[in-house]
Every structure is written in C-alpha cells, then in structure tokens.
Amino acid sequence: MSKKYVAYVGTYTQEKSKGIHIYDLDVDNGRIKEREEIEIDNPSYVTTSSDKKFLYSICDQGVTSFKILEDGSLKKLNTASINGMRGCCIVVTKDNKFLIVSGYHDGKITVLKIKADGSIGAIADEVFHKGMGSIAERNSRPHISSLSFTPDEDLLCACDLGIDQIKLYEFNHKTGKIKLYDIIRSQQESAPRQILFSEDGRFAYVVCELKNYINVYSYDKNSDKNRFELIQNIFTVRKNHKSNSAAAYIKFTNSGKNLLCSNAGDDTLTVYSVDKRSGKLSALNSLPVSGEYPKYVNVFPDDKHVLCMNNENNTITIFTVHYDKGLIVMNGKPIKVSRPNNMEIVALD
C-alpha cells in the first residue's frame, strides 16, 4: 500500500477563506482534494515540528499549535501571544523545544518555548532589528521576511529585506536566547527574502526579491573568519521580464537535484539544475504559472509535480515537471482557494 500524504495550506482570511485548508494528495496523478477547513484568523504561514507530530500557524493573536492526528486532521492545542505585530514566518528547533517567529511589520524576532505536549509556552527572548533601508515605504525600515537555521542549528539566519541584511544569531538551545554573531550584507535595494541550505549543509541560497536574483554561498561552519562566501549570483527571471517582477520563493526538489523559484509580477516558475559538488545553479527555463503572484511553491513527494500558490487570483496551479527538458506542463484545472500563502506536506504513518 502506497504512503498517504496530506497538505496544509495557510491562507489570508480577509475574503472567503476561513483558515487552514487540509488536502489529501493523489501522488500518482499529481492532484490534491480538499478534505477540511480549520477556522483560524489569517494563518498566513504554517510549519511542522521535525517529527511531524505538530503543526504551528501564524494567526492574528500570535501563533497557534495543533496536534496532527493519525488521519491528518488537526486538533487545536493553544494560542500564544508574540507580544507584537502579527508574524510572517515560523521555524522550530529540531528537538521541538523552541519556536521562533519573524515579524515583517515590526522587525521583531520572538522566541517561544514549546511544552512537552507540543503546545506553545512562554516567550524566551525578543529582539528588534534596527536600521534604515534605502527605498521609501517598501525598504525604509526593518522587515524580517523569513528565518532559517544553519544545518547544525548553531546560527539562526534572519532575512531582513527592509535593510538588505541577513543577521546571524547564535542560538542558545538551553535558554532560547539569541545573540548577534555576524551580518551578511546584501546589495543595496536587493531585499534578501529567504535563505535555504543544501541537504549536506555546504551551500546556502538566498533569493533577493527586488533584484530578482539568487545569491549562492558556500558555508563552512568551522571557519573562524567568514562562514559564508559568495560563489554565484544568478537571475530568477528572463531578460525580457516585466519591470515590476519580484522573486518570491525558492524550494529544493526532494532529490536536491533541482531548485525552483517563483516570481511575482512576471508570474513565472524558474527551474534550475543544482551542481551538488560546486553548489552552483544552472537555469533550465522560466515559464508562466497560469496564476497571479505565485507567492509559494511546493513539490509532490515524488518530485514529478509542483504546486504554485497564486495569492492574487486565488488558485493553486499544478504542473508536471520535465527536468531534463526544463519544461512544466499544466496538470488539470486550477484549484480555487482564497488567498493561498504557503503549504506544508506531511506523510501519514
């Protein structure tokens, strides 16, 4: 019997959506079918614990925890305040003892404890970013768009697209306290949005929203001087792209052989091949996603299909990917869901 999977889709609920949408995956055919909707205010980002037993969601009140039941349904545990404006991204430590929230609107990092039952506990630390950007309105002040740990969980990386910096924090796994270690300064007005690490931990990939490119870094955790060294800069869009294009999200395929990047405005998906030895990327193609503002992209467990969450026109579009040819082919009709923002896929035992 083939393994079963569920997908949890985070949304904005100011229009028709009521919360988190739960879908069953048909992996063989590359389709999803909605099963249930869990009511919660603006679950714009969802993520899971490393053991996939718990799901955590942004909400207007702070962050909400759920237990993932055997059939993939969700049981609410509790909601905890982050003592600030609503967050936009969540990361959880591998031991499931701490949960960290990034604040786009107030430039704040909030570390919360996680209790043994998976529910969210007290705040362990709070840090505000300071500084000024160079573009009025969009990049005039700190906006922490995403968080990620280095593979060894030694450093917490905070992408601040408002001040064109990735701040690196030492993370104390006993107390949850964070301490500034170093700063990666991106090009002015580039807006570093998200950082990903290769599975072997040797390379880091930073997608820069306003410059429409990906910076590739080698990563050496044993280096005393500079753990990150820039080795490549590659564009996410075609030469004739729209002037209002903005790189949105990057995602590795499960094999790690390819990287996907969605582009808003241009409304395309760019497919790269990954040289695992050098870490460098080669662009295969950039093609339309048949949707508006593909804010997030995910991959089916077998890597044969990709899903684009099109936030502006309220759809999820699914494509069959031919990596050898650099082609994506529409697979079935768009799936209607109001303001989809991100997706977490979980295998059921």
pLDDT (tens digit per residue) in 124-175: 999 999 876 665 555 568 999 999 999 999 999 999 999 999 999 999 999 9
CA–CA separation, 268 vs 41, rounded Å?
29
Chain centroid offset of residue 323 CA: 22
Mean pLDDT of 13-18: 94
The predicted structure's pLDDT at residue 240: 73
Q: How high is the pLDDT of residue 238?
A: 81
Average pLDDT for residues 213-217, to the nearest whole number?
Answer: 98
Work out the mean pLDDT of the chain and round it to a whole number. Answer: 94
Select from 130, 110, 1 the least CA-distant residue to 56: 110
Contacts of 88 (CB under 8 A, 6+ apart): 44, 45, 58, 102, 103, 104, 105, 144, 145, 146
Q: What are the structure tokens assigned to 16, written together?
A: 């028709």
- Span 221-280, pLDDT tens digits: 988 778 999 999 999 998 777 678 899 999 999 999 999 999 999 999 999 999 999 999
Cα dihedral value 163, 166, 168, 173, nearest 10: 100
DSSP 30-51: TEEEEEEEEE-S----EEE-TT
Alpha-helix residue ranges (DSSP H) falling in 24-92: none
| Structural domains in the chain, sorted by start | 70-235 (2.130.10.10)
Instruction: Quote the CA–CA distance of 179 and 54 in Å, as a whole number.
Output: 27
Residue 304 Cα distances to 27, 210, 255, 263, angstroms: 9, 30, 11, 20
> Is residue 52 pLDDT above 90, yes or no?
yes
Whole-angstrom Cα distance, residue 102 to residue 120?
A: 16
Residue 209 in contact with residue 272, Cβ under 8 Å? no
Whether the pTM exceeds 0.85: the reply is yes
**CA–CA separation, 115 and 120 (whole Å):** 6
- Report pLDDT for 1: 47
Of residues 205, 184, 213, the one with CA closest to residue 278: 205
- Per the listing, tokens 């998200």 go with 194
Confidence of residue 305 (pLDDT cuts 50, 70, 90): very high
d(CA 346, CA 349): 10
pLDDT for 174: 97
Spatial neighbors of 42 by CB under 8 A, at least 6 apart, are: 11, 12, 13, 14, 58, 59, 60, 86
Taking residues 62-71, report their average pLDDT: 97
Is a pLDDT exceeding 90 seen at residue 4?
yes
